Each structure stands twice: as structure tokens, then as C-alpha cells.
Amino acid sequence: MDVELVEIQEFLASHPPFDKLPPETLERLPKRLSVRYIRRGSVFPPLDADQPYLYILRRGAVELRDAQGDLVGKLAEGDLCDMACRLGGNAVPMKGSTAEDTLVYLLPCTDLTALRAQHAHFAEHFDQSVAHRLRRALDAVTNAPASGAGLMTLRVGTLINRALVTATPETSIREAAQVMAEHNISSLLIMVGEHLAGLITDRDLRKRCLAAGLPSDRPVREIMTERLETVNVDTLGFEALITMTRLNVHHLPVMSGGKVAGILSTTDLTRFQSSNSVYLVGDVHHAKDLDTLIEISSKVGELQVHMVNGGATADQVGQAISAITDAITRRLLEIAEAQLGSPPVPYAWMVGGSQARREQTSYSDQDNALLIADHMKPEDDAYFAALASIVNDGLNACGYVYCPGDVMARNPKWRQTLRIWKKYFNTWIQRPEPMALMLSSVFFDLRPVHDPEGLFEEIHDQVLNLSKDNRIFIAYMAANAVKNRPPLGFFRNFVLIQGGEHDHTFNIKHRGIVPIIDLARVYALSSGITETNTLERLRTAAGINALSKDGAANLSDAVEFVGTLRVRHQAGQLRRGEKADNFLSPDELSPLERGHLKDAFLLINAMQESLAQRYQTGRIN
């Protein structure tokens, strides 16, 4: 059968899930189809069908409404309607009607069943569980890095040299240095039998021995680092990198079944990454002045591009970039203190929003506040005002632009004593009002980045204790969290918004990520969970109160999937020398990604519905 119906075959081949069928099946498929033409305004699927069919839209548009008559979806060219094939299952009763004159291809449901039985990848598309589809989409995204294999997929075990070079605590520093020189290594594991006792590095030899004037015949025990973070051979290269970034260390012992398997150094990791977050953080620690910090922070965009190329997920990008912002903030505080002298009373520098959640991408703005010990005197404020200005201006110069809502330490309102802060939170939680809700995303995601005296803990405990059992406050937070609804899906090259409106682009952060962040915050506050990071909140809240284990896992998948699309979108812009933003056009998405995004939206919507019901938010809004 030569040229027959080649165009219909090509049409099918370019639309999921038919693109998953092998060519020989695809070639026979057009012959299984029939064609119908349905005028605008007609019932869809048509009532006079001689048997149940899967409908494939070739031209035209179909609107789907739920039992209440609300628009739940809109189909266009290449979209499928398998409603009739799902009867008896957990099909959602929906009413369709053609919004345009529509030409459809009909495949008998019996044929669909046979195809699903024979072709697993094809069948996945019809998997009735949105959660399963999303899980697979996420796996696909994380397993297929944008370019090449990277640290995302490699385990630490494959990166290390397994030949262990060790010494005992009683070895002399000189001997240890000789061993390191002999093996040309920059660190040495200190062992007592099979037990890891400590680690020495080049830096320790320099700082704790030579610079400190310690005789080299002293035992290494005196200069070794004893309290060690370790990673496992199964740890992903990336997680190890983030641990190093967070701790600002260049070496990590690698364990396997409780035994030391080797040592991982940044050099092992940098083979895979040219612009490395560990080095950026290291550079920040050594930066002498603001200009150097500005130069370092200009590489953050490049880091995001590299990480995305390496297959990093949104969480990994967020962790790495937030670690750098933390380091820059701390360095600016050091610079400010060096300039202004020691603080008159202890203080804590608190960060809010995405930095607090460790979910920053390059070019996030700054949200911060100062928490000052209660015994400060009125005249001390001049010191903290000056400190805040130096840090706020410095961050702004580094690309973390001033917070548009003025939530910054330089604002006197957010530079207060512990007592005032406790009063603030007390008011927000006990007498919830719109202002508190507006600030909620900033101040209910709060974390100290510099807090030598541990001032923050008291606030934190208070917030959790007050909010946990305050059902009214949680209901207000919930009402706020369900206000921002995700889009319904896509229609042609438009985003389909609740109520049936279309848009050319959509803000993927506000529409797809913020709703999950807001949900996670409610779950965390209602269960007294201390985490600020959205994934950690979901993980910890799973199975408690409002959040089922499945719900938590599904939302985690959704936020990772949507977030990863976002960091990729931004990386694409940065690569092209454009400014990174959150505005995604459906044109940028593959049909498959659109399908998965739509799944994520559905899921968010369902979780919002269930939260709304639980807290009766309808009575608040």
C-alpha cells in the first residue's frame, strides 16, 4: 500500500502517544480509523456513534465541562478524547461540545485496548493515574540531562580512587606530609584500625601547623579535623557537591557499609563541572571587597546553565545557588562588621522567601530582616541601620535586587528586637488579616544565615507553637494557598486559564510553583514542622494531618517537574545572553511536556481542593 494515507500516518506520528508506536504499527493504523465532521456547538463525543471510540482531533476544538458546567479542558488539533473508552472505570463524568467545526479521527476502543496491551510506552499515556504519569515524567527529565551525563546520575563510588592512603593519629605531622607528597594527594585519612578518626588536608598543614608554629614532630591528632561529614558510595555526585558547598570543605570521606571506601575531593567533581558551586562559595569566603563579590556573583547565571546542562533538577539548582547567596550574605556581614566595628549587642541576620527555602535561581531578589537582642539601647540602632545598608546595597550590587515590597533589614520595621518580632508573629498568627497573609510567604519561610547567639530559635519555636494549634490562622493560610489556581492546561499555543481565557505566556513560577510552596507551608505550619524547604516540608509532613503520603509524593514530583522546566527555561535564556525570567510560552514545550505540565496542574488543583475543603476556606474568601 504505497502512498495511501501517508499524511494521516504522519499526523499521528507527530502527536503523542502515537509517536511511541513502532513504524510498522503506525503504518497500519490509519486503516483502522474512520473520519467524522462535527459542527460547532454539537455534543461531543457524538451521541450517534455505532460503538465506543477514541477520538483524535484533526481540526477544530472541543470544550470539556464538568457536571457543574465549569470548563475543565479544551482540546485542539492532535488532542485525544478517550472518555468513551473509559466507561466503567473511574471516568470523570464530563460533557463535551465542539467549539469549532471539528474533523475527528475515530479509533474503536477495542483497537485502543489492543494497542495498549502490545505497546507499553504507548499505554503509559492512558495510565489513569496522573501521579504515575508525573512520576515517570520526572524520571525522564532527571535521567536525560539536557546535554551529556553529569553529576546528576553518577554515584560518588564511581568518582573516587579506591586506593586508601591512611595514617594513624599518632603519626607525626612530618611523616604524614611525606606520605601526602609521595602519593601526590591533598588529604590524608587518619584511621584507628578500621575506624575513621579524622582527616588532614593541605590547608590543615598550612594553617594549623606551619602558620601556627607547631613543631612537625607533633602527632597529626593535634591538627586533624575530627568531626567529619561523610557521604556514601551511593550518594549522587551532585548531593556530595551540595554538601561540600554548604560546609565549604573540599574533601569528604566516602563510606560504604560503615567502612571508609575512599575520599572525595572537589577535583574529582570538577572534572564534571567547569563552574563549580563549591569553588564559588570558596571564592566568596576569600573575597576581600564588594567588587570581588560582584564578580563572583556574576558567575551564578553561568553556574545555573552548567548545572542544567549536567541534568540538575530545580532542587539541586536551588540548593547550590542559595548556598552561594548565604555565603555572599555572610561575607557582606563580615565586611560590614570590619568597617563598623563589633556589634553593640548580638543580632541575627534572617533571610526569607526563596533564599530561606533554599529555592533560589539566579537573579532572585533579596528578602531579609534583622533580629536584635532585647537589651539593645535606642542609640544602637544607628549601628544596625548602617550594617543593614551595607549588606542590602551589597546584595543589590551583586544582582540580588532590592525587595520590591521593602522587606529588607534596612527598613526600620524589619530591624527589630526579639521582643518586637515575637509581638509581630503573635499578631500575625492570633489576629490573621490580609497583611499577614501577604507577608506570609516571606516571614513564614524564615531562616537565620548569621546567628552566633542563637536568637532565632526563640522566634521559631514561638511561630510553630502558636500556629500549630491555631485553626483559624491555618484556615487563613489555607485560603491564601488555594487562591492562586494553576492553569487548566493548554489549547493550541495558548495557556488555558480557569474560566476559559487564553494567554500566550504564563508565569511558571506563580502559576505552577508558588501554589505548591503555599500548600507545603500550610502543611508544615499545621504540623509544627521546622523545615523551610518545600521538598523537605512535604517529605516531613507526609502522613501527618492534612497531607497523605501519596499526596506528598505527588506534590514533590510536581514541584520538581515544574521547577526543573523553569530552571531549564532560564538556563536557555541565560545561554542566549538574555535576562532570565519566569514567562514560559507553550511554544517552548514539547507536546509531551505540555501533557505532563497539565498533569501537574491537575494534581495541584486537586490538592488545593482538598485543602480548601478541610479548612472550609470558602467561608474566608
Kindly tell me which of 59 and 183 has the beta carbon lying closer to other proteins. 59
Environment class of 291 (CB within 10 Å of its CB; exposed 0-12, middle 13-18, buried 19+): exposed
CB of 491 to other proteins, least distance (A): 16
Kindly tell me which of 26 and 386 has the beta carbon lying closer to other proteins. 26
Report the SS3 class of residue 320.
Answer: helix
Kindly tell me which of 56 and 542 has the beta carbon lying closer to other proteins. 56
Q: How far out from the chain centre does Cα 12 lie? A: 35
Kindly tell me which of 58 and 250 has the beta carbon lying closer to other proteins. 58
CB of 320 to other proteins, least distance (A): 48
Contacts 24+ apart (CB under 8 A), 4-7: 4/30, 5/30, 5/31
Measured CA distances, 533 to 80, 142, 356, 440 (Å): 37, 20, 7, 15
User: H/E/C letters for each residue in 80-145?
Assistant: EECHHHHCCCCCCCCEEEECCCEEEEEEEHHHHHHHHHHCHHHHHCCCCCHHHHHHHHHHHHHHCC
The grid cell for 262 is: 575512599
Kindly tell me which of 43 and 92 has the beta carbon lying closer to other proteins. 43
* The dihedral formed by the CA atoms of 252, 256, 260 and 264, expressed in degrees to the nearest 10: -30
Kindly tell me which of 17 and 30 has the beta carbon lying closer to other proteins. 30
H-helix or E-strand spanning residue 347: strand 347-352
Phi first, then psi, for residue 65 (nearest 5°) are: -125, 150
DSSP 3-state percent helix, strand, coil across the chain (nearest 5): 50, 15, 35
Residue listed under C-alpha cell 460503538:
51
CB of 315 to other proteins, least distance (A): 43
Q: How far out from the chain centre does Cα 360 lie? A: 9
CB of 53 to other proteins, least distance (A): 10
Residues in touch with other proteins (CB under 8 A): 1-8, 11, 30-39, 48, 50, 58-60, 100-103, 106
CB of 58 to other proteins, least distance (A): 5
CB of 39 to other proteins, least distance (A): 5
Kindly tell me which of 10 and 469 has the beta carbon lying closer to other proteins. 10
CB of 103 to other proteins, least distance (A): 6
Contacts 24+ apart (CB under 8 A), 1-10: 4/30, 5/30, 5/31, 8/33, 8/105
CB of 37 to other proteins, least distance (A): 4
Kindly tell me which of 76 and 398 has the beta carbon lying closer to other proteins. 76
Kindly tell me which of 100 and 127 has the beta carbon lying closer to other proteins. 100
CB of 60 to other proteins, least distance (A): 6
44: β partners: 96
